[in-house]
Amino acid sequence: MRSTFKTLFYINRQKTKADGKTAILCHITIDGKSTAITTGEQCKSSEWNSKQRLTTDKKTNQRIG
């Protein structure tokens, strides 16, 4: 039986904190069943690259990737 596994990182721009940072979330899909979890990392909305789904901060990318 074949199994599928996908991860997708994103930020929730609607829940921005007072310092301008927002949480980085991870959407995990396994065999069609999905769930979203927080990574525990934060970044500013201006630092998020939505096409590559990464931040411009290399240290944060290493921790989540």
13 has a pLDDT exceeding 90: no
Quick one: pLDDT at residue 5?
92
Distance between CA atoms of residues 51 and 54, nearest Å: 8
Q: Where are the domains of the chain?
A: 5-64
Q: Token digits for 19?
A: 């310092």
pLDDT digits (tens, 9 = 90+) for 29-62: 999 899 999 989 888 888 888 888 878 877 776 6
Question: In this structure, which long-range contacts are made by residues 6-10, counting pairs with CB atoms below 8 Å and at least 24 apart in sequence?
Answer: 8/53, 9/39, 9/53, 9/54, 9/64, 10/50, 10/53
